Chain A
């Protein structure tokens, strides 16, 4: 490892440290890293990359995809669509705690297919706080289970999480292929995870009680916007599925639908733009720049070569090490950072560059995010919401449930990948 590589690896580690400890906000952490990368990369004596090369470090397709999806989903959220779903999920339970638990788990995972995890957690936590208070149930099982399901939801779609978008665009996996590789795994994981959570919390769910009489429809203030939001979401998914055959990238579909959503919503666009998750967008842009600098030093290529020598020609070894390493790393570090770091490493080696390994990276980065209170924003929010309701959950109580479910999910994912991609051969 030469001097330049050491400097860039230190910048990378500093960025990871700052973002994992949150000494500064995520976006600032990544931009400090990007600034240091630009300084050492462009300024003599190092001159690792040119200004023109540096401009290519940020994948603008990814930024457009993120912005497009965020705008569409923000409009849908304003229509009350997701709140309606949560109210309906509570209503169908009929006050039976077991059914309520399962329906909350399902709706949590379902809304997070579209909503970002923190936004989904905010919505579900608000619903949970209200219903558990009304029925005098212990909120802890419902909050923790919803958090774990929100982390799991959307694993099998290109737009289900930010890490999926990063991996999908880097690997060139289409919307349809993404679902084809992972949908069965995600559905099975929903069932397994709900069963495990139910067994853990069965004794704490409470007794059957009468639900207050309410109509979820009354919560929808603007029915026209509600129907339009459904239409735009359905249209977006249909276009993702159909236009990829014509060579139209998902970012073009997302941006096109965003324009449609803005035009049909009747809302002030500046209000919608204000609500977008700029923290994540700046974090991704900054971190992409740091990884781009690291790539320029050939360090990631060296790492890919070393990995290739370690796993040899074994697809099984490459897939399992990617799954478990990215899964365990995501328990402590942002899964966006893990996806951005792993993607160029996997792209660099032909034996690694396979659907099985990319699928392993998708599963690893998604499944590790709800293991401990430190694993991600969604875990923080669940604990924060419980605290606002006057309930504190210990680190060990949270981690016990998070660790059990994460290990079971990663175990099942290993089995699935072996079977789905014939890795035992």
Chain B
């Protein structure tokens, strides 16, 4: 490891605020200024354990994200119609 890398590593170690606090603060600004977003934490459905590799890949599957967005649209529309009806 070169001297530059050592100095860089040492400088980084002096950063006092943990990354999670920064990410949390950033999330709040993104929510306020940009498009609101949600983060879901979903477990693999029971009985599908043998598909765990495929399940984990869904996190970065663009096509899957679009399908979830469509599901959200349907849900929000149905929800608003239901509220208007009642």
A380 adjacent to B33 (CB under 8 Å): no
**Shortest beta-carbon distance, A27 to chain B, in Å?**
11
Write the chain A residue with the least CB distance to B31: A219
**Shortest beta-carbon distance, B7 to chain A, in Å?**
8
Q: Considering the complex, which residues of chain A in the window 274-292 have a beta carbon less than 8 Å from any beta carbon of chain B?
A: 279
Stretch at the interface among A123-131, A181-189, A231-239, A240-248: A123-131
Task: Give the docked Cα–Cα distance between A248 and B73 (Å).
Answer: 61
Q: A219-B28, A388-B19 are in contact. Are A212 and B33 (CB under 8 A)?
A: yes
A122 adjacent to B25 (CB under 8 Å): yes
A380 adjacent to B16 (CB under 8 Å): yes
Which residues of A sit under 8 angstroms from B17, Cβ to Cβ?
A: 118-119, 121-122, 381, 384
Which residues of A sit under 8 angstroms from B40, Cβ to Cβ?
A: none
Identify the interface centre among B11, B14, B19, B28: most chain A CB within 10 Å of its CB.
B14
Identify the interface centre among A87, A118, A384: most chain B CB within 10 Å of its CB.
A384
Contact with B along A120-149 (1 / 0, CB 8 A): 011101110111001000000000000000
Which residues of B sit under 8 angstroms from A373, Cβ to Cβ?
A: 11
Write the chain A residue with the least CB distance to B4: A395
The listed residue (A22, A134, A216) touching B34 by CB distance below 8 A is A134
Residues of B in contact (CB 8 Å), total 21
Write the chain A residue with the least CB distance to B11: A373
Task: Give the docked Cα–Cα distance between A383 and B16 (Å).
Answer: 12
Task: Give the docked Cα–Cα distance between A374 and B13 (Å).
Answer: 12
**Shortest beta-carbon distance, B41 to chain A, in Å?**
21
The listed residue (A121, A122, A130) touching B33 by CB distance below 8 A is A130
Contact with B along A93-129 (1 / 0, CB 8 A): 0000000000000000000000000110111011101
Which residues of A sit under 8 angstroms from B22, Cβ to Cβ?
A: 122, 125-126, 384-385, 388
B70 within 8 A of partner (CB): no
A130 adjacent to B12 (CB under 8 Å): no
B30 adjacent to A130 (CB under 8 Å): yes
B29 adjacent to A384 (CB under 8 Å): no
**Shortest beta-carbon distance, B37 to chain A, in Å?**
12
The listed residue (B10, B28, B34) touching A83 by CB distance below 8 A is B28
Write the chain A residue with the least CB distance to B29: A130
**Shortest beta-carbon distance, B75 to chain A, in Å?**
22
**Shortest beta-carbon distance, B8 to chain A, in Å?**
9
B32 within 8 A of partner (CB): yes
Give chain B's interface secondary structure class.
helix
A35 within 8 A of partner (CB): no
B15 adjacent to A380 (CB under 8 Å): yes
Which residues of B sit under 8 angstroms from A374, Cβ to Cβ?
A: 11, 14
Which residues of B sit under 8 angstroms from A212, Cβ to Cβ?
A: 33-34
**Shortest beta-carbon distance, A258 to chain B, in Å?**
22
**Shortest beta-carbon distance, B21 to chain A, in Å?**
6
Q: Considering the complex, which residues of chain A in the window 386-413 have a beta carbon less than 8 Å from any beta carbon of chain B?
A: 387-388, 395
B74 within 8 A of partner (CB): no
**Shortest beta-carbon distance, B80 to chain A, in Å?**
19
**Shortest beta-carbon distance, A146 to chain B, in Å?**
13
**Shortest beta-carbon distance, A16 to chain B, in Å?**
15
Q: Which 9 A-B pairs have the closest CB atoms?
A: A126-B25, A384-B15, A219-B32, A130-B29, A126-B26, A380-B14, A380-B15, A122-B17, A377-B16
Q: Which residues of A contact B (CB under 8 A)?
A: 22, 83, 86-87, 90, 118-119, 121-123, 125-127, 129-131, 134, 212, 214, 216, 218-219, 279, 373-374, 377, 380-381, 383-385, 387-388, 395
Q: Which residues of B contact A (CB under 8 A)?
A: 7, 10-17, 19, 21-22, 25-26, 28-34
Beyond A121-B17, A126-B22, A131-B33, 17 extra complex contacts between A and B, CB < 8 Å: A22-B13, A83-B28, A83-B29, A90-B33, A126-B28, A127-B29, A134-B33, A134-B34, A214-B33, A279-B16, A380-B15, A381-B16, A383-B15, A384-B15, A388-B19, A388-B22, A395-B7
